[in-house]
C-alpha cells in the first residue's frame, strides 16, 4: 500500500484540474443560453439535468438559429448517444447497482471517462471517474448560473459577438477528432449538405439531415472516427 497514497493523490489532483478547466465552460453555455431565448431557470435546469456539454450547446444552438425546440432536442439526443458507449467502457470498473448506479450514470461524460479508463486498478479508475465527474458537475452548474445571469443583462448578444461564439465552441469540440483525412471529409460533408439545405428547409432540418447523411457516408466508406 506504500505506493497507493501518492498515486491516489496524483489522480485526485489531476481530476480536480480537469474538473476546473472543464467546469468553467459553463459560463459560455449560460451566457449563450439566455441570449438564445432561455430563461436563467431553464439554462440552470439544462445544466443540472442534461449535463453533457455538446448536447446542451446543440439544444440552444438550434433554437438560436431559429429552429424548433424539438429539432434542438433531437440534435442534442443524437449527440448524447456517445455517452452510452462511455458508460459501457467503464461499467466493468465501476461495478455499481441501485441508486449508486443511477447517480454514477449522471456523470458519465467525456472527461470522467477519459480520466478513468486508463487507470491500472479498478479502485483508481473509480477515483478518477467520481472526482472528475462530480467536480465538473459542481463547477459547470455554478458557472452556468453566472453566465446565464450575465447573458440576460447585456442586451443584444450580437454586439458582443456571442452569436459567433457558438460556432467556435462546436469547432473546439470537434477539433480533437479531426485527426485523419477521412474524418475531416465526413465533417465537411455534414457541413456542405447542411448549408445546401439552408435555403429550402425549415431551420433545424439542415443540421439533422446533414449530420445523418454524413454518418451514412462514413458507414458506407467504413471510416473509423
**40 with 145: CB under 8 angstroms?**
yes
Smaller CB separation from another protein, 131 or 208: 208
Q: In 180-190, which positions are buried (b, 16+ CB within 10 angstroms) versus exposed (e)? A: eeebeebbebb
Smaller CB separation from another protein, 25 or 130: 25
> 3-state DSSP helix/strand/coil percent for the chain, to nearest 5?
80, 0, 20
**Cα separation of 53 and 76, whole Å?**
10
State the minimum distance, in angstroms, from the CB of residue 97 to another protein: 9
State the minimum distance, in angstroms, from the CB of residue 4 to another protein: 26
Number of other residues whose CB lies within 10 A of the CB of residue 6: 9
Smaller CB separation from another protein, 121 or 180: 180
Q: 3-class DSSP state for residue 119? A: coil
Smaller CB separation from another protein, 12 or 203: 203
State the minimum distance, in angstroms, from the CB of residue 7 to another protein: 25
**Cα separation of 217 and 186, whole Å?**
7
State the minimum distance, in angstroms, from the CB of residue 72 to another protein: 6
Amino acid at each position: 500500500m506504500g505506493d497507493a497514497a501518492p498515486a491516489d493523490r496524483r489522480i485526485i489532483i489531476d481530476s480536480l484540474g480537469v474538473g476546473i478547466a472543464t467546469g468553467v465552460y459553463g459560463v459560455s453555455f449560460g451566457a449563450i443560453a439566455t441570449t438564445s431565448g432561455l430563461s436563467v431557470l431553464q439554462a440552470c435546469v439544462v445544466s443540472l439535468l442534461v449535463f453533457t456539454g455538446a448536447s446542451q450547446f446543440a439544444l440552444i444552438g438550434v433554437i438560436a438559429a431559429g429552429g424548433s425546440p424539438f429539432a434542438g432536442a433531437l440534435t442534442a439526443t443524437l449527440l448524447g448517444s456517445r455517452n452510452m458507449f462511455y458508460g459501457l467502457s467503464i461499467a466493468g470498473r465501476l461495478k455499481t447497482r441501485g441508486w449508486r448506479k443511477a447517480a454514477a450514470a449522471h456523470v458519465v461524460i467525456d472527461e470522467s471517462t477519459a480520466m478513468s479508463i486508463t487507470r491500472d486498478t479498478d479502485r483508481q479508475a473509480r477515483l478518477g471517474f467520481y472526482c472528475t465527474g462530480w467536480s465538473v458537475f459542481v463547477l459547470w452548474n455554478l458557472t452556468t448560473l453566472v453566465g446565464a445571469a450575465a447573458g440576460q443583462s447585456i442586451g443584444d448578444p450580437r454586439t458582443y459577438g456571442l452569436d459567433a461564439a457558438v460556432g467556435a465552441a462546436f469547432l473546439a469540440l470537434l477539433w480533437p477528432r479531426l485527426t485523419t483525412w477521412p474524418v475531416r471529409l465526413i465533417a465537411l460533408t455534414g457541413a456542405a449538405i447542411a448549408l445546401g439545405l439552408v435555403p429550402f428547409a425549415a431551420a433545424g432540418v439542415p443540421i439533422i439531415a446533414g449530420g445523418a447523411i454524413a454518418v451514412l457516408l462514413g458507414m458506407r466508406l467504413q471510416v473509423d472516427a
